[in-house]
Amino acid sequence: MMKSVVGAIAAILATTSVVSAQPYQPAPPPPPVAAPEEVVVNQATGWYLRGDLGYAFTNLRGASYFQGSNANYVDFDKASLDDNFTLGGGIGYQVNNYLRTDLTLDYLFNTNLNGSTSGYCGSCGPGGTSVPAFSRDTATLSAVSLMANAYVDLGTFGAFTPYVGAGIGGTHVKWGNLHDTNCSNADPSSCDGEDVHNGKGSWRFTYALMAGTSVDLTCNLKADVGYRYRHIDGGNMFGYALAGGPGYDKGISVNEFRVGARYLFGGCPAAYIPPADIPVYK
């Protein structure tokens, strides 16, 4: 019995010596976890070209003329302009992702004036007598605006970048000849001959306010949908003819809805991707 116990103890000691003689093997380190790649997109800066097509709701803020018989200025009873299309273009610079400026030239196509005044017709009454009368006044107007503008982009939401802006500059307003026909109040079919007043043209101070959104079509091509208000100062309208004239308009308001496009030169803005950190083990 004693021999069996001694043998068992000897076997345990031998096994322990063998295990203790094996070299120490540390546990392998966990696999490295790569840091997420950081992407920094450079700001889209550079020169751009733009083109716009719009529809303008024009409002003539009044008109007056020198009425020779009264020796003073008299307002038109009615003076309204039809609506028409606009076409424009320009060149600009994208300063950063939030600010851009441009210089634009826009043309308002010929727009019809329909007006009326009150007075007397010297030969519209019975037997060619003078009677109270009204006039039918027609003319055309066209305008070219040269504007310096600045815009603030309010942030990009998906493909959409809303903006607000303002502009200042001048507009050359060109009035066509005014055609004036006087007719009897009592008998509108009894009219005198047509008078023609030479139309006038002049440069007027203009300011503009804009709002809209641009839509990314590609990284350097954007569609633009917006609204613009233009305030055009008053000025010369037509010259003297017979006993009437000259005439002046009191200014024009233009409410314009536009669609267009902007092309940014220099290709797409580059994106810098730094290399991932390489882990070092000691």
pLDDT of residue 129: 75
- The domain segmentation of the chain, as residue ranges, is 48-266
- Cβ 188 vs Cβ 224: under 8 Å: no
What is the distance between the alpha carbons of residues 65 and 211, in angstroms, rounded to a whole number? Answer: 36
Other CB atoms within 10 A of residue 232 CB: 24
What's the pLDDT tens digit per position in 17-27? Answer: 444 445 556 66
pLDDT of residue 274: 53
Identify which of 60, 104, 102 has the alpha carbon closest to the alpha carbon of residue 79: 60
User: Whole-angstrom distance between the N-terminal and C-terminal Cα of the chain?
Assistant: 56
Question: In residues, how long is the chain?
Answer: 282
pTM for this entry: 0.76
What sign does the CA torsion over 37, 43, 44, 46 have? negative
* Average pLDDT for the chain: 83
* Average pLDDT per 10 consecutive residues for the chain, totaling 282 residues: 53 49 60 54 76 97 81 86 97 94 97 89 76 88 98 94 98 95 82 86 98 93 97 94 83 97 79 52 52
pLDDT of residue 168: 98
Other CB atoms within 10 A of residue 9 CB: 10
pLDDT of residue 241: 80
DSSP at 70:
T
Tokens of 56: 């303008």
What is the distance between the alpha carbons of residues 112 and 178, in angstroms, rounded to a whole number? Answer: 11
Which residues in 160-172 are b (16+ Cβ under 10 Å) and which e? ebebebebebbbb
Helices (H) and strands (E) in the chain, counts: 1, 18
CATH class of the domain comprising 48-266: mainly beta
- Cβ 64 vs Cβ 247: under 8 Å: yes
